Every structure is written in structure tokens, then in C-alpha cells.
Structure 1
Amino acid sequence: MPATLPFHLEVSESSKSLPKGVQSFAFATSGGKWLFVGGRTNGFHLTATSMRTFPVAYANTQLLVFDPVSGRSWSRDLPAAYLSRLSATNTESHQDGDTLYVVGGYGSNCGKDTASCYGTYPNLTALKVKDVIDAVVAGNDAKLASSIVSIEDTRFQVAGGVLRKVGDYFYLVMGQNYSRIYSAGVSGAYTEQVRRFKLGFDGQTLTVSDYQAFGDPKGAQGTESQFHRRDLNVTEAITPSGNPGLNVWGGVFTADDGGWSHPIYIEPRGSEAPTLTVDANFEQKTNYYECANLLMYDATTGSMYTTLFGGISNYYYTQTGELVPGGTTNSLPFTNIISTLGRASNGTREYIQPMNQGLPALIGANAELVLAPGLPLVQGSHAIVDYTKLTGNRVLVGYIVGGIRATAWQASGTNPTYPLEKLYEVYVVRP
């Protein structure tokens, strides 16, 4: 990888806003409209032992549809049959064509803040995106209910992992099963696995086939394993060999309650077990938690670029502009850093934009980057922009949507956090 990037990212506040802030949601698009499912309508969860760490009052119990062109929005209560599982936070989700698959997630299954009601949902749900959006816009509750199909399967009882699709297979990457009310210092059961399977959905019946689970190739478990991760970024990629794959970035928690710095590369091999490689030669410094991300591939150099926007980091900029690691008094702080992870045949490199080229606020955590319409994508990919086909020196590539807005490096009673309503425009800028 070169010493400097051939581009940088600029982010500016848009004139458009969501009708309400939401974070840690599932997301899909159809016909130019955006669909938000589940998540939270408050900020970062409290970390003190509390019966109300994830209060049900702030669970997002409505399906939200937003038109980014007109700024109009529509909402509808979730059907009662799916209320708990689809108002969960930190679900894993992926849109495949017109179907949004939603897996697991955490929340209360009784609509109350009763300790015994909290846990991780053992569900896989399919939403017919166009039909759901049409039903929400029309206020048609019967059509809405008939556009959702859900099954119970404990293999999907996961929160804080990531769901992606490569080729014919879906990959449910890491995460945890948290089986009780949340309490700081109490860990859930981390899956420490990459779970691979096929999904069948004909609009009425949802099936799972060819399921396999792959653990740490070294056989390590617990915090000794590099697979002991949750709240991470797992991004679609073109590998140095030119094939589709996945990159695993960051995530938490290590034995000392820090974040994971070595990436893991997942390279599918058809029906054979995928190659899982921990890159011990590279250490990521910034943006460990799940955050908005932009993917671009430059075929002329074989370079895969993954840009991470803010969130929660290890390194951060001090008020004097010095990039330093978080210590005991500022562990894993919220950050406004924009960083790009580049990978090619000669290795992986992290490009951290200077302080004056950061985000305009402490945003990005548990947010989504929604691509601008009409962007050229790499053939066969879901969301990788073809860098070689971008035209112009300053190109609008998307919007940072939702997520958490912090007011300080560390959240507290005097430093509150909020769900983000404002949209932020993202530009690729080249000389």
C-alpha cells in the first residue's frame, strides 16, 4: 500500500433530518425510500448496574420509512406478533435483493423492564422490503403483517455480530448471546464463530440449509481467542487474489477490556470451509466499534479501501491534535476520526486523517452509511464502490444515517449521548 491515500473523505451536515433519532437498527432500501427496523431511540446505554440499562421505553417499536429526496417520513407500529424481536437492539441484518433478513438482537420480551424478560432473541426474520415500505406508507396493517415471516432457531440467538452474504452463502460473524438483564462487568456467551449457511425464502416459507460453524483455527477459546469479538465491523471486500471475501475489523473485549487490533480475513472457497486468517502483522489503532463505513475498490492497483467513520476508538486526538492511545482514564473513547484501512497484495495499512479532516461531531457509532444513488459498484458486490469509475474531484458517495452522537469522549450523566437525527453528507475528494 502507498504511503498516502489518493483521496480523502469530507463530511458535512445535510439539510435533511430523520423524524427521530435511532441507533443500532436494521436497514434496507427500495424505490428510493429507506426502511429502519428496531434499534434504540436513546443514546449509548448506561454501564452502571441498573434495571433500566436498556429501558423498553426507548426500544424502537415502529417501522420508519424515510424519503431522502422529499424529506417525508412515515411510521407504523410493528405487528404484535413480531413486536419484541423486531424492536430489538444490535440485531444482525442484511438486505439480499428485496428481502431484509434480521437475526437475533437483544431486548425485553415482555414489554417491561423486568429483569427476567431480558435476553437475546433466537429468531431469523425475513421482511419483503418493498411490500413493507408500501404498507407503512399506506397505513395498511394487514399487508404489513403478511409481509413478514419469522422462525425460531437458536443458531441465530446472537446480538452484536454481523450478517453478510458472499456468493450463495450468508455469514453470521461472531457476536454474543446475552441471556440476562445487562450489567456492566457481566459478559455474555460469545459465539467465537463464523457461522455459514444458505437461506431460502419464497415469500411465505423461510428455510435454513448447509449450516456450518467455524471457530478459531488455533482452537483457542475465551479471551485467548481472536474470535472473541462483538460490536465489530465486518465489511465486504475484494481480496488480494481478486475474489470476494470479508474483512473483520476491531470489536471488543480483550482480557483487559480493550479492543481487538488484529484484523481477520475471511476468504470463501465455494462449498469448502472458508480460509480464516488472523493478520498478526498489522495493528488497527482507530474506530474499533461498529460504525458507518464506506467500501471502495481500485482494480488498477488491487487495493481494497475500507473507510470507518468515528464511533468508539483506541487512539484519539487530544485537544492539541496529538494522536494518542486511550489509557485508564479514557479507555475506548468516542471519536470523530475518519480512518481508511487499505489492503492489497503487499499488506494492510491504516490511513488516519488529520484532526482538521475529522467528522464535525462525535458521531458514527452504530450508524449506517447509505450510498448515494447511481454510484458505480464492483460487479457482483453488494456495496463496494468501483473507485476507478468515479468521476470528478469531489464526489457525493453517501450519507451517515442514525447512530449515536456523543458530547464527550466518555459518556456519563454530565456528558450525555443522543440518537442522531441529522443526516451527514460524505464526499470522496481527490486532487
Structure 2
Amino acid sequence: MHSFAYGRLGDTLYVFGGRKDGVHNKSGGFELNGSNRDLIIYDLKNNVAQNFSLATLDTALIDALSSSNTCYTQKGDHLVIIGGYSENSYNKFITHPDLSIINLVKLRSFISTNNQQELSESIHHIKNDTFAIAGGQLKYIDEHFYLVGGHKFNGIYNAQTTAFQQTYTERVLVFDILNLQSSPAIKFITQIRDELNFRRRDLNVSPFVTSKNKTELMTFSGVFLVNISSPFLNIASIQENGFTDISNFNQLLANYHCAKMGFYSRKNDVMHEVFFGGMAINYYHKNQLINDPLVPFVKTISCVERNANGEYSEIRLPDEMPGFLGTNSEFILLQNTPLFSEDIIDFDLLKKDTVDLGYILGGIYNYSTRLNPWQDSMVQLTQSNPYLLKIKLLPSAINQTVTPTKNKINYSIRYNSIASNNEIQLDISPKPNSIACWIVNQEGKIVQQLNTLKNSPISINTSQYISGSYRCVFLLDRNFQKSFHFLVP
């Protein structure tokens, strides 16, 4: 399966929703007959899976739990699942306005007794349009839930028309769940709104050690930039009341949701986030970096590294995935793996020469040689991944020389940081073939978008701007993203 949600007790996974097919068609996809409508219990230790029917639950709850691309996370013994998109039991294609809280201990009891009452008692269900989100990410950190990005999509998908309704959340929603054990209630804390930075879906979000003794959520890549079918290349850390763009860094090798895992070394104050395959706007062929704006399937295993000086780089690991795997898959850590914090492995405690870390579960498998089967209208060449991939780490091989990935062109960029004569001028060398530029105000609202071609003057007329601070984000040749701030007096 792919695009599912799961919770865990020990070596047992409780899997909800997701798809049993491959990539969706250009018209349709996400039909009921391809949805996983059962609860799947997977015993990692013994490699045994069992299906349990959810048919005794309320129809709306079954539909929500059977959807794909939900936003989910686990707090203690409780699995929280939000939203998701699918065809429901009434043949409507919707993003589900649901939040489900699943008590995994009670669910385990249901499995052992097959008591249908225990099944219903193990799930609390809240309906709220706020939670009609698919393709976002839900995380729990610093005593709060963070719901990052995503979109609301209603109607049948069709790449040739706009008969559907699609609205991006353009925000991070911070909230608490009160009385998690008994009668849950939602308490909204704040929202971080930005019409550009959080207009992304199918992204990766992970806890990341951004500096010594400081762990924050990090937003990685995702799709698509406003009015351009190109992935985000910037990454940004999230705080309770805002976000921070990581300057002078572009993520080129992993641009879509995929299996990932983090490592941190206290001794060296170095953080790594490793991404397994998936889809990306760049890949290597015979050691040459190839740019493909169609964002193809890739075999790349890449790593975003923050060193002790606070500098970020992206590294292509020498190993590759055994096929076009990783998209919409999940990384499952082995029990007893030493952790620095949740979802971050303590690298300093990995003492053996070869360390078993975990598994890559599910995802989409493109078993053809075509990099873009969707674009080629050959989605039948894809399927849900039937393999369980075991991941091992060889710490002794970590120090082999690897070269950080960089754009083919090293642009020199100059600009004035204070508007002069109602104008901000950009001087970019060498001249790119195309430039897309967005101006965002302090409230996170896009106030202007510019698109220019090669040799066109690059200037921002600020005569209609109110006084204040603005952020300029620009994309050069669809493969280099950068931002800067300027003031309008």
C-alpha cells in the first residue's frame, strides 16, 4: 500500500487507509475499489499481516479512516488521523473533515477478543471543516500538535479541467487535544499563515536539531509553487509563532513525500536527515546532475546536513534505491534503536560496524524504466510497493568522501534592501532564462507576483506598498530558489 496512516505498539503496526494501486490517472483515480477499507495489523518481528473489517463502524468514520494522504501522528498510545482524500460510500470524491483519535491499547484488546464494542470504544471521532486537509503533515512537538500545509480537494481529479475545487491551507495550525483519554476536545493555539511558504502539499516534515540543544520541526520541499508547476526548493524551520527560512540552501534531490530518518551527533553537533528515493526535480546520471521539470521518480538516497557551524548542505549518498521506490512510503524504526529524541537516532550510540535500523514500508513502485509514467500516460507501469526493504547503516562508511550537491550555475545576486525611488532592483549574474518572483508582506500575504524572461529588467515597483518589511522570493530557471527581505519606508 501507499499513502496510509499507521500507529505502533512495540513490534506491531496498526495500518489505516491508503491505496492498493499505483499512481493515479490523469483523469480519476482514488476510487473506492482501490482504497484500503480494512484495519491491517502487521507483526514486524514475524512478518505476518492480518486484515480486520471496520464494517461495524459508522459509515462516515469508515470513509475517513479509509482515505489516502491523511495527516497523522502518534502521541503515546494514541494515533491521531486528520483529513484525507477519497471517494466515499456515496460516490462523492471529498477531503474528509474528520479528526480521529485511536486508543491503540484498546484497539489491541479488540483484536484479541474480536469484541465489536471495543472497536467502537477505541476510536473518538470529531467532525470539523478545519480538518478537511489532505497531503499535509501532522507532528507533535513541545507539547503541541502542528498541522503543516496540505490542501482541500473536492471533486474528481482531472488534469485537463478545473471541474474540481482545490484550496491550499497556506498555514501551520498549532493546537492541543484536551482530555485525550476520555472525551477529547480541540483547543486551537495559533496559526502561522503564509500564502507562499505553506502553500505546499505532499511534503516531508521532521523534527530537526537546528542548533545545539534546540529541536524544531523542519519543512522540506513539497509541491507546488504558486502558479508554477515546480516544487519548493527551500526548507524552513517552524516555531510556535513563525518560521525561519534556511538561507543559502536548496533541496534539489528529494521534493516529494518519501521515507526518511534523522541522525544527530551530540559529539560533533551535526544533524542529518536522510531521504529514500521518491520524486525529485533533479537526479544524477553518470555523475552529472540532470534537471527534469516533470519531477520524475528517482533512485537517489540523499541527505540534508547541518554542520556545527550552522551551514546546510545536501549530499547524494553513494548507494541508491534498488528501484524507483520510496514515494509515499514510511520508514519504520526497529525497536531499541538508540534515540536522541523522537524520530531522531542518536548517532553517537551506534557502535557496531553494521547496524540494523529499520524498514521502508509501502509506497509507490515504478517498476518500469520510464522516469515519468504519469506524464507518459503509462500509470499501469506503477503499483503499490510489495516489498519490505530492510535498511542497514555502516558507520565506518560514513566518512567516505562525498561532494555536496550544488546547482549547475552559481548565481551572483545583488539587491537594495531599502526601496529607493519606489523601486527594488535585482542584479543577477549570469542572466537566467526565466525568473518567477513573489513579494510577501509581514502578514504572509502575497502582494505581487512577477514573471520575466531572459534579459528583461528585474525591478519591483513598491509605489503601491504600505510601509513595512517584505520578503522577496524568486525562482531562477525553475531550479534555484532564494529569498531576501527589504524595507519600504
Tell me whether the two structures share a fold, i.e. TM-score over 0.5: yes
What is the 5 A alignment of 1:87-236? 87-112=66-91, 117-184=92-159, 186=162, 188-216=166-194, 221=195, 225-236=196-207
For 1:240, the equivalent position in structure 2 comes to: 211
For 2:57, the equivalent position in structure 1 comes to: 80
Gaps of 5+ in 1: 1-21
What is the 5 A alignment of 1:10-409? 22-46=1-25, 48-50=26-28, 53-78=29-54, 79-81=56-58, 82-112=61-91, 117-184=92-159, 186=162, 188-216=166-194, 221=195, 225-254=196-225, 255-268=227-240, 273=241, 275-318=242-285, 320-327=286-293, 331-344=294-307, 345-354=309-318, 357-378=319-340, 381-407=341-367, 408-409=370-371
Gaps of 5+ in 2: 397-489
CA distance in 2: counterparts of 1:414 and 1:123, whole angstroms: 30
In structure 2, the CA distance between the partners of 1:136 and 1:321, relative to structure 1 (3 Å rule), is farther
**Partner letter of residue 66 of structure 1?**
Y
**Partner letter of residue 312 of structure 2?**
T
Deviation, 1:142, is 2.4
Equivalent pair of 2:136/2:202 in contact (CA under 8 Å): yes
CA RMSD, aligned part only? 1.7
Aligned residue-pair number: 383
CA displacement 1:6-25 (0-9 Å, x = unmatched): xxxxxxxxxxxxxxxx1101
Deviation, 1:128, is 0.8
Q: Which has the higher relative contact order, 1 or 2, with Cα contacts under 8 A spaced 6 or more apart? A: 1
CA distance in 1: counterparts of 2:50 and 2:114, whole angstroms: 9
CA distance in 1: counterparts of 2:298 and 2:111, whole angstroms: 35
Equivalent pair of 2:17/2:67 in contact (CA under 8 Å): yes
Equivalent pair of 2:24/2:379 in contact (CA under 8 Å): no
CA distance in 1: counterparts of 2:222 and 2:13, whole angstroms: 27
Equivalent pair of 1:237/1:244 in contact (CA under 8 Å): yes
**Partner letter of residue 252 of structure 2?**
K
Deviation, 1:321, is 4.7
TM-score w.r.t. length of structure 1: 0.85
Percent identity, please.
28
Most deviating of 98-107 and 419-428:
419-428
Equivalent pair of 2:178/2:186 in contact (CA under 8 Å): yes
TM-score w.r.t. length of structure 2: 0.75
Deviation, 1:251, is 0.3
**Partner letter of residue 103 of structure 2?**
K
Deviation, 1:335, is 0.8
Most deviating of 165-174 and 175-184:
175-184
**Partner letter of residue 99 of structure 1?**
H
In structure 2, the CA distance between the partners of 1:94 and 1:42, relative to structure 1 (3 Å rule), is same
CA distance in 2: counterparts of 1:39 and 1:132, whole angstroms: 19
Equivalent pair of 1:306/1:341 in contact (CA under 8 Å): yes
1:362 aligned counterpart, secondary structure: coil
In structure 2, the CA distance between the partners of 1:409 and 1:139, relative to structure 1 (3 Å rule), is farther
Equivalent pair of 1:104/1:157 in contact (CA under 8 Å): yes
2:299 aligned counterpart, secondary structure: strand
For 2:383, the equivalent position in structure 1 comes to: 418
Deviation, 1:236, is 1.0
Equivalent pair of 1:336/1:361 in contact (CA under 8 Å): yes
2:81 aligned counterpart, secondary structure: strand
Deviation, 1:139, is 3.2
In structure 2, the CA distance between the partners of 1:351 and 1:238, relative to structure 1 (3 Å rule), is same
In structure 2, the CA distance between the partners of 1:383 and 1:128, relative to structure 1 (3 Å rule), is same
**Partner letter of residue 252 of structure 1?**
V
Which structure has the greater CA radius of gyration? 2
**Partner letter of residue 15 of structure 2?**
F
